[in-house]
């Protein structure tokens, strides 16, 4: 039995479209003491080169729910994953590139289908919660890891 009085939270992001970690994605940690209560911003961090965010603060005693907000829009804009013209897509035929440029979003709009991902989960004191995000331009999946 754990003697810790609070839970702990960590996460990482894998860009499944690129087959590599998603670096420099901002992650916000919010907490609340129960359903219907207001969310409180507890911490803000960003994923490292390995897609990991290991420096999130521990939720305070009394926390029963945690929300991780992943700000994915800037990542998709930076990598070009939403248009197929990103740095990882160097072999696209010129015709397809021209088509992608015609369909590219207006300046200031990344065109990301998921500009943010919010994951809410219940916590109990003394437990560690590792919540990986598997991300692609048009889908995502999360699970409780170890």
DSSP 25-89: -EEEEEEESSTTSPPEEEEEEE--TTSEE--PPPPPTT--EEEEEEE-HHHHHHHTTTTT-STT-
Local confidence band at 5 (pLDDT 50, 70, 90 cut-offs): low
**pTM as predicted:** 0.79
Please state the domain extents for the chain.
8-142
Q: How many angstroms separate the CA atoms of 137 and 92, rounded?
A: 17
Please state, for a pLDDT cut of 70, what percent of the chain lies above it: 75
pLDDT above 80: residue 4: no
pLDDT of residue 51: 98
Local confidence band at 85 (pLDDT 50, 70, 90 cut-offs): very low
Q: How many angstroms separate the CA atoms of 25 and 72, rounded?
A: 6
pLDDT of residue 107: 44
pLDDT of residue 80: 82
pLDDT digits (tens, 9 = 90+) for 19-42: 999 999 999 999 999 999 999 999
Overall fold of domain 8-142: Immunoglobulin-like (2.60.40)
- Average pLDDT of span 97-123: 69
Local confidence band at 87 (pLDDT 50, 70, 90 cut-offs): very low
- Average pLDDT of span 48-75: 96
């Amino acid at each position: 039995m754990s003697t810790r009085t609070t839970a702990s939270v960590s996460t990482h992001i894998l860009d499944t479209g690129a087959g590599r970690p998603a670096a420099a994605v901002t992650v916000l940690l919010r907490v609340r003491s129960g359903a219907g209560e207001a969310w409180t911003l507890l911490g803000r961090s960003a994923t490292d080169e390995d897609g990991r965010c290991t420096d999130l603060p521990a939720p305070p005693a009394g926390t029963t729910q945690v929300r991780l907000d992943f700000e994915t829009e800037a990542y998709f804009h930076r990598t070009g994953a939403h248009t197929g013209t990103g740095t990882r897509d160097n072999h696209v035929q010129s015709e397809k590139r021209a088509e992608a440029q015609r369909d590219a979003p207006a300046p200031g709009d990344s065109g990301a289908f998921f500009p943010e991902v919010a994951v809410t989960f219940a916590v109990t004191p003394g437990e560690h919660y590792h919540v990986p995000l598997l991300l692609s331009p048009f889908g995502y999946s999360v699970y409780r890891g170890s």
